[in-house]
Amino acid sequence: MAQDDAELPRSVTRRTFVGAAGASLLTGAAAMGQDLAAPPNRAVGRPQPQLGSSDPLPEERKLGFAVVGLGKLALGEIVDAFAATRRARLTALVSGNREKASRVAAQYGVPENGIYSYDDFDRIAEDPRIQIVYIVLPNSLHADFTIRALRAGKHVLCEKPMATNVADCERMIEAARTANRKLMIAYRCQFEPHNLTAMRMLRRRELGDLRIVSADIGRSTNPDDPADQWRLDRELAGSGSLFDIGIYALNAARFLVNEEPVEVRAQLFAAPGDVRFREVEDVVAWQMRFPSGVLFHGSTSYSYAFTNTIQVIGTEGLMTFDPSMEYHAQRLRVRGRGQDRVMQWSPIDQFAREIDHFCMAITDNIPVVADGEEGLQDVRLMLAILEAGRTGRPVSTDWGYRRTADPATAVPDGQGVA
């Protein structure tokens, strides 16, 4: 039973309430809260008033999350995002540092007995306060913790990149299938209003026929920063700039064009003697060809000055995201057909929207935007790009993948989405 059913009066079936997009709809007498079988002059109960889409659900109806790995992203963005969610609450923390976890738990109202270590993580199976596990660990640890969480009967939201190789992605997908639990990869930009607006404009062909997407995403890694140390370590990161930040350009190109690349070419570069790049790649410049003929060219790097731009050019206009993947300060400029518009909405918590989507996918059993297959597709494409870079030859990527849910239609309207 979907969770929302709990509030329905017995005389009204769920069929009466659910609209095409899963939105609550009431019609006729049911909308007035009347018991259809009762005489009109008798006192009758009324259904609970419908909650506005931004109103949080009562605490007891929210799904409980365990956040695994209390690093920069978890503490800088994710634990705070729960305050902006409608359907989720933070109920557990998993960390290798008990003292830090206790401090965070006290700050966010997580009970001491909701703190787990990596060693006793499997005990979450007996904790009914946890329905969903959010994996925010270094990349190569995603697969094992995802599989352990699924085996413990929990749904999993896993940070990008899904894993560091295809076999791990496939093990994660299989574990979700076996456990009959949902798996989502945390592609926050697919829930971000500027990106959603762009997707919808492109689906409406507002730039005419698309010709090219370009993107450059880079920053300079700092070997003194613990969060960059594992990123420069092949065993923990799996790969370098492409898997960490180039993935945003790849994923955006796919959801903006709404097709899958059929061929990739690439070149790799690292400055000789730069000790940061003994194990992982630095600059990756790559091209992709989509079936309709749309082209992509772009680059990513761990030695650039901060760079974060995506551009889409069509026969009748162009759009530029600059910056394109910020947590709170996106900007989208659209030019063409006699117009020049800049869209920059007030900050919105894209992590909260992503978390709420996953909760809704679980309670209402709707397809997950950015499911495990989506994460696998990016990992396969990134490995193909790196192979093209190493060999200097084009690599065919025409293996027939199609996404289950297009975010442009599957993610409901929200603040700022045009």
Residues engaged in binding ligand NDP (CB under 6 A): 69-74, 95-97, 136-139, 141, 159-160, 186, 188, 226-227, 230, 236, 244
Least distance in Å: CB of 141 to ligand NDP? 6
Query: Residues near 239 by Cβ (< 8 Å), separated by ≥ 6?
Result: 139, 164, 280, 281, 382, 386
Least distance in Å: CB of 160 to ligand NDP? 6
**Closer to ligand NDP by Cβ: residue 223 or 291:** 223
Q: Is 72 a catalytic residue?
A: no
Least distance in Å: CB of 172 to ligand NDP? 14
**Closer to ligand NDP by Cβ: residue 118 or 418:** 118
Closest residue to ligand NDP, based on beta-carbon distance: 71
Select which of 62, 154, 160, 182 is catalytic.
160
**Closer to ligand NDP by Cβ: residue 236 or 262:** 236
**Closer to ligand NDP by Cβ: residue 263 or 326:** 326
**Closer to ligand NDP by Cβ: residue 116 or 290:** 116
Task: Give me Rg for the CA atoms of the chain.
Answer: 23
Tell me how far apart the 2 most distant CA atoms of the chain are, in Å.
87
- Upper half-sphere CA count for residue 412 (Cβ side, 13 Å): 16
Yes or no: say if 318 and 235 are a contact pair by the CB < 8 Å rule. no
Select which of 116, 134, 187, 248 is catalytic.
248
Least distance in Å: CB of 215 to ligand NDP? 16
**Closer to ligand NDP by Cβ: residue 22 or 71:** 71
Yes or no: say if 105 and 93 are a contact pair by the CB < 8 Å rule. yes
**Closer to ligand NDP by Cβ: residue 17 or 302:** 302
Helix axes 372-391, 247-257, angle to 10 degrees: 120
Q: Is 100 a catalytic residue?
A: no
Least distance in Å: CB of 101 to ligand NDP? 6
Quick one: 164 exposed, middle or buried, by C-beta within 10 A (0-12, 13-18, 19+)? buried
Least distance in Å: CB of 178 to ligand NDP? 24
Least distance in Å: CB of 418 to ligand NDP? 23
Annotated catalytic sites, by residue?
Answer: 160, 248
